[in-house]
Every structure is written in structure tokens, then in C-alpha cells.
Amino acid sequence: MEFAIHAEGLRKRYGDHDALAGVDLHVPPGTVLGLLGPNGAGKTTTVRTLATLVAPDAGHARVAGFDVVSQPREVRRRIGLAGQYAAVDELLTGRENLVLLGRLLGLARRPARRRAAELIAAFGLEYAADRTAKTYSGGMRRRLDLAACLIARPHVLFLDEPTTGLDPSSRLLLWQLVREQVAQGVTVLLTTQYLEEADALADRITVFGKGQVIAEGTADELKRKVGDERLEVSVARPDALQPALAALSRVAAAPPSVDESARRICVQLADGLGAVATAAMELELAQIPVEDFALVRPSLDDVFLQLTGETATGPTGGDGPAGPTAPAASTTPAAPMQGAVS
């Protein structure tokens, strides 16, 4: 396959709300595509459409080589899906959750137990495998949920806000587990509002806004859209702010921005490293007491804010009025989807 996920012109409308307004995606095998966007931008609807949970109103898409509308059974056999909330049965143990899903996916009893044991070990859940899932922490449930997605070794893995609500150590562990799957050839489509997550995991990033793709590229390509590196200077005293501003304005490519409360000046320089040296000399000649002097690259936060005008924190609430509970496609699932049993 040239593309593990190939979508063109996807549209989905709920009432007078365009959840998707012509989305194109092209994801090569064995790579990670990160979907960024504010609440209601269309990320979750895109995942639900590609995972055959809703049918598009227009456009077409193929996942793992099969059409999501005309061949949903074949698509479901080749994908794993982890939604925004861990889909585990709290009354079963971790091991029982995985064995049950393996049996539902057609594995015989012994292979299902063997696969469950492999995943329990891979995800570091041996110590809790025979405890009921209701005793698991949020991070443990997430790991169990991701393990469930991998029971039948999917070609494509959909992760919709997989680390929302996790503590930093659990998030880092989940990132490592995702990287291990990609190293084995799995293709991952990841929706997230944690920009450092997209920066850390995604080979390419697509930014959504109002049901449309508004930008795409690698993290570095998107950062370059915002601008070049900038110099940030913090002065030691409030009375040094204006003299520092005057000194830096002489080497700035554009009017500097000032944060008076932080005593910080941000300067876009014209001549790269040569301008940095000149800026340092100007500050020294003016005898400005400098507390911090750093060359800073644009971040994905800058990209997100410039492209969407939204804040970049907080969990998603779904895609507009319909949200994640929008009506499902009329096609009845022909086979259980990996990771979709609750």
C-alpha cells in the first residue's frame, strides 16, 4: 500500500453543523499522523468516520487498503481503536478483559490466553493482571485499553486523545508503547490537544479548524510557518526594561514585543547569529543588567495559536453539537472492532 489511510473530500453534517467539510488525509504505512485542533474542529468525527463508526455524507476513504463504506468488515479486521475514555469492563480482571476480546475476535481459547499474556507483559501489567479493572488507576486502564486494541495485531491504530487526564509519567510510558508499535510497522492516527505529544510522536501533523484541514506538515515545517527564531531577553530590574528595549530595537527586524510583568522583551532578528552577537554587544554597551538571554524557536503552541486562534490546553469535548455521541452509521458491524468492547 502506498497509503495506510487515504481520504479525499470527507464530509459529515449534523443538522446545520458541518463536522467535516471536505477533509483530505494521506498517511504512509508505519508512520504517525497527529491531528491537532480546538474543540469541535472535526478530529473525533474524522476518527469515527475512518473507523467505520459513522458513514460520510460525501467523499471516500480507504484504510489498510479497504473502503470504509463498501468494505467495513475488512477495515474493522485491520484496525484498533482507543477512544477518549478507556473501554474496559471494570468487573473483569485485566487478563479476562484481554482474553474475552481475543475470543470475540475469533481466537481459540489457548491462543487468546497466550496473546493476553504477551500484551500484559509488554505493557507492564503483570502485577495487576488478575485484579479487577475497577481497581486500576487511570494510567493502568489506558495501558489495558491500548493492549486491547492490539489483540489481533492491527495494521492501523486510531488513538483519540489517548493521554487525556494521565499524569506525566503515565503519559511518557504510553508514548513509549506507541513508538514500539510504530517500530513494528503499525500506522497510527493520533488526535490530541497536547502539543508536546504531537511534537514527540507525530511524523506529520494536520491542523484542523471548523471541519477542515487548515495546515499540514512536519513539526519543523509548521513551526517555520510562524516565523524564524527569536531572541528573548529578560532584564533584572523593571527600570532596565525601557533602556533594553531601545538597545534591542536597533538590531530588530520588526518592533519588539514587551511583557512588562515578566520584564521580558521578544525580538525578531534580521541576521541570525550575527544579530545575536550584535544584540549582546548593544546590551553590554548600554550596561543593561540581563537576567536571561536566549534564542528561542517557535513552538507548536505558537503554530496552534496563530492558525486557530484558540488556546492549546484542556481536554476535548467532541466535535460540535453532535460530539462523540453522534448517530452511528446505518451499517451494522459485521465483526467486533478491536478495542471497542466495553
Cβ atoms of 78 and 64 within 8 Å: the answer is yes
Cβ atoms of 92 and 136 within 8 Å: the answer is no
Q: How many residues does the chain have?
A: 342
| pLDDT tens string 34-47 | 998 888 889 999 99
AA letter at 191: T
In this structure, of 49-63, 216-230, 246-260, 276-290, the range with the lowest mean pLDDT score is: 216-230
In this structure, of 59-73, 96-110, 250-264, 271-285, the range with the lowest mean pLDDT score is: 271-285
The boundaries of every CATH 3.30.70.100 domain in the chain are 228-297
Q: Who wins on pLDDT, 340 or 212? A: 212
The boundaries of every CATH 3.40.50.300 domain in the chain are 5-224+309-325
pLDDT band at 272 (very low <50, low <70, confident <90, very high): low
Residue range 1-7: mean pLDDT, rounded: 91
* CATH code that applies to domain 228-297: 3.30.70.100
| pLDDT tens string 145-166 | 999 999 989 999 999 988 887 8
pLDDT of residue 57: 96
pTM of the model: 0.74
Question: Residue 307: in which H helix or E strand, if any?
Answer: helix 300-308
User: Which residue in the block uniquely carries the three cell numbers 492501523?
Assistant: 156
CATH fold for the domain made of 5-224+309-325: Rossmann fold (3.40.50)
Which contacts (CB < 8 Å, 24+ apart) does range 247-254 have? 247/279, 247/282, 247/283, 247/285, 247/286, 247/288, 248/279, 248/282, 248/283, 250/282, 251/275, 251/278, 251/279, 251/282
The CA distance from 68 to 125, in Å, is 34
At residue 285's C-alpha, the angle toward residues 284 and 290, to 5°, is 25
